[in-house]
Amino acid sequence: MPQLVMLRLRSNKFSGHIPIDIMRLSKFHILDLANNMFSGVIPQSLANLKALTTTMDSEGDNNPFKEVYDSAYWSGDMGMSGDSLSLPTKGQVLDYTGNILFFKSIDLSCNRLVGQIPKEIGALLGLINLNLSSNLLSGNIPFKIGNVYSLESLDLSNNQLYGEIPQSLTNLTSLSYLNLSYNNLSGRIPSGHQLDTLRADDPASMYIGNPGLCGHPLPKVCPGDQPKKEDPFKWNQDD
């Protein structure tokens, strides 16, 4: 299956380790193994998924989702393989049609994966969606995740990740959805660029369930910071 561009096996009862051979499929755009019982670690050979290491611009007009019919009598482009595709991303299910060409995703959520998030994730420059939530992952969030400039949705919630949130997340200027809740993260929440605009209605929800985190948008003040004081010259509207 060297030409396989999408593998969706979500919501089955598959178990065991994620097969290493999957990482040899260089044409992959979408890998969805969510809601199964896969265990073991995430393979470090993620960088072998070559289609995810490049952006759309570098691929030119080559659309891997097109169907081409070739026979002795006729050859031609049959267009998109299917009218639409529903994909979970950004905390919801979105419908993709022609724009599926631009969607590159890894969804391993709701399994029993352990160990650290491989630092090789930083090589997947074309990745749009990364969902590793609801596993048993531990260790630090890799600093190199800030290299994935195309990333629009990142969900690492409900794991056992610890340490500080890397400042490199501020490099993700395309990010529109972030969920790091319910881990063991600690330290000051980084700020700047896109991180300051996410979930404007409830920004703290991205970080809740991490008692060691401090700083805006959480109410917990970081050591050395002074809480904001009331302006003594502000008129009381009730007077």
Q: b/e map of 94-119 (b: 16 or more CB within 10 Å)?
A: eebeeebbebbbbbbbbbebbeebbe
Give domain limits for the chain: 6-214
| pLDDT, mean of each 10-residue run, the chain (239 residues) | 82 92 86 95 89 68 44 39 65 66 88 96 94 97 94 96 96 94 97 85 94 94 74 49
When the candidates are 3.40.605.10, 3.80.10.10, 3.40.50.970, 3.30.2180.10, the CATH number that belongs to 6-214 is 3.80.10.10
pLDDT per position as a tens digit, 176-216: 999 999 999 999 999 888 888 888 889 999 999 999 999 99
- Residue 50's CB: how many other CB atoms inside 10 A? 15
Furthest-apart CA atoms within the chain: distance in Å: 89
pLDDT per position as a tens digit, 15-24: 999 988 888 8
CA 132 to chain centre: 7
pTM above 0.85, yes or no: no
**DSSP label at 218?**
S
Rounded Cα gap, residues 58 and 61, in angstroms: 9
